[in-house]
Amino acid sequence: MSNLVYILNGPNLNLLGRREPEIYGADTLEDVAGRCTEVAKTEGLTVEQRQSNHEGQLIDWIHDARDKAAGIIINPGAYTHTSIAILDALSAFGGPVIELHISQVHRRERFRHHSYVSRRADVVIAGCGVHGYELAVLHMAKLLQG
């Protein structure tokens, strides 16, 4: 089985560290990616980390994962709350899916309480800040070990 895990980030997450730091923290996506690579290594995993502001691009990467990746960790950003298309793409993926939010979305505006992606996600992590990414990699390793 492949030991490759996709970590996909949706819209506005390229601004991590500069965007609303009181909510999303001061670390950049690059900082997070570096730590995920390290954690993955200790777990015998390889991570492919991508970010896009475009729904279709995220969907294409999820399709791509069907042949290449053992699991997907995804922070779909605001598409969490709007995208049936991302839900459908994830439903066509066979491996474990971890949905991740940096913030505790249920303590925020009402429109952030509903997630289409959660209907498919095996695990949801929210409110751990960017540490959630490392937790997600660790937990993905556990899921893949069966």
For the record, the structure tokens of 112 come out as 């952030």
Please check whether residue 29 is in contact with residue 14, taking contact to mean a CB–CB distance below 8 angstroms: yes
Active site residue 101: yes
CA distances for 110 relative to 23, 113, 123, 145, angstroms? 16, 5, 21, 36
102 binds ligand DHK (CB under 6 A): yes
Catalytic residue among 79, 101, 116, 133: 101
139 binds ligand DHK (CB under 6 A): no
81 in a labelled binding site = yes
Catalytic residue among 6, 24, 116, 133: 24
88 in a labelled binding site = yes
Question: Any alpha helices (H) in 45-110, and if so which ranges?
Answer: 55-68, 84-91
CB of 146 to ligand DHK, least distance (A): 28
The only residue of 28, 53, 82, 103 in contact with ligand DHK, by rule CB under 6 A: 103
The 8-class DSSP code of residue 15 comes to: G
**For ligand DHK, the closer CB: 76 or 95:** 76
Please check whether residue 87 is in contact with residue 110, taking contact to mean a CB–CB distance below 8 angstroms: no
53 binds ligand DHK (CB under 6 A): no
Residues assigned a catalytic role: 24, 101
